[in-house]
């Protein structure tokens, strides 16, 4: 297959490019700087410019663009950046995919589509959108693929959970704290932490690429969601370190602000119904399995 990827420089994009190439696929990368390699094409989503040659003859496009939601403390300007970095590239790429006749568009989204006020209730791909900034962001992000939907393109929305990798994301921040004996639960610990291993994130995207029955929302989350307290204990076991601390919710609000309320102190109990119904074979079905594989236990 010939696969075009936007947003290939992050940890997920880098791993996905490597996996697709190992499987013998041709990968074309859309970059926002001058193209510097044979597999690169420069594009400018702000000016709605996508080289037609990049998409010509392609079997699928994968869009992973988006600034990191936890990279900075939220304020008005950064929240606008989070929206602009997702909605504009998605609309531009979806329009270009439709015009070029690319049959499949796989577009990033997030499991916080469901919001954080779901409590213990299990949420699946048929559950309604939540409220709050992240719920609205994910809803609008998915809606930005409409030009491709309207053209009959098979569109898959990757509602990704927290991706577990030692080299990026939350684990990269938490590991040194646990080694210092500063690990522990956050807030009440009863909130759910939707998670997926990097191996299964890449495996599920590749599975969706090849499985024409998958379309619309697909939860990329491990099949056994855990609470924050359970996650903290599992991480402590994987690192053979104690996790005695409790970080009060008030402290998290002071340190992190609105992001703490939306993404740390609340989380959906999301399960991957669409993937399991389609027969995806999870490599890591439990948090213990995922963390043991990551930390070499």
pLDDT per position as a tens digit, 20-33: 999 999 999 999 99
- 3-class secondary structure, 280: coil
Provide CB contacts within 8 A for 133, sequence distance 6+.
74, 79, 258, 262
Q: What is the pLDDT of residue 63?
A: 98
pLDDT in tens, 198-217: 999 999 999 999 999 999 99
- pLDDT category of residue 297 using cuts at 50, 70 and 90: low
pLDDT in tens, 81-102: 999 999 999 999 999 999 999 9
Domains in the chain: ranges and CATH: 2-163+195-222 (3.40.50.720)
pLDDT in tens, 113-149: 999 778 899 999 999 999 899 999 999 999 999 999 9
pTM: 0.95
Q: What is the pLDDT of residue 170?
A: 85
Whether residue 74 has pLDDT greater than 90: yes
Q: What is the pLDDT of residue 118?
A: 84
pLDDT in tens, 185-198: 999 999 999 999 99
Q: What is the pLDDT of residue 201?
A: 98
Q: What is the pLDDT of residue 167?
A: 84
Among 66, 114, 70, smallest CA distance to 252 is for: 70
Provide CB contacts within 8 A for 108, sequence distance 6+.
7, 63, 64, 65, 66, 86, 141, 158, 160
């Amino acid at each position: 297959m010939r696969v075009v990827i936007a947003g290939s420089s992050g940890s997920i994009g880098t791993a996905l490019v490597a996996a697709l190439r190992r499987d013998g696929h041709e990968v074309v990368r859309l970059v926002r700087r001058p193209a510097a390699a044979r597999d690169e094409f420069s594009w400018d989503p702000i000016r709605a410019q996508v080289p037609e040659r990049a998409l010509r003859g392609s079997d699928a496009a994968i869009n992973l663009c988006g600034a990191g939601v936890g990279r900075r403390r939220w304020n008005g300007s950064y929240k606008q950046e989070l929206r602009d970095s997702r909605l504009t590239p998605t609309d531009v790429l979806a329009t270009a995919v439709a015009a070029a006749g690319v049959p499949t568009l796989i577009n990033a989204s997030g499991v916080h589509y469901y919001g954080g006020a779901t409590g213990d209730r299990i949420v699946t791909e048929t559950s309604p959108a939540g409220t709050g900034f992240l719920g609205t962001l994910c809803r609008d992000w998915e809606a930005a693929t409409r030009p491709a939907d309207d053209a009959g393109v098979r569109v898959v929305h990757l509602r990704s959970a927290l991706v577990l990798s030692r080299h990026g994301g939350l684990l990269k921040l938490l590991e040194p704290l646990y080694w210092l004996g500063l690990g522990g639960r956050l807030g009440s610990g009863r909130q759910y932490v939707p998670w997926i291993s990097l191996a299964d994130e890449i495996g599920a995207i590749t599975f969706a690429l090849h499985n024409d029955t998958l379309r619309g929302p697909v939860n990329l989350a491990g099949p056994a969601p855990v609470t924050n307290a359970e996650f903290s204990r599992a991480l402590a076991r994987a690192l053979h370190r104690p996790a005695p601390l409790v970080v009060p919710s008030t402290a998290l609000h002071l340190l992190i602000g609105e992001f703490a309320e939306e993404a740390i102190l609340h989380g959906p109990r999301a399960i991957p119904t669409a993937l399991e119904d389609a027969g995806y074979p999870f490599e890591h079905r439990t948090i213990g399995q995922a963390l043991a594989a990551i930390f070499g236990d």
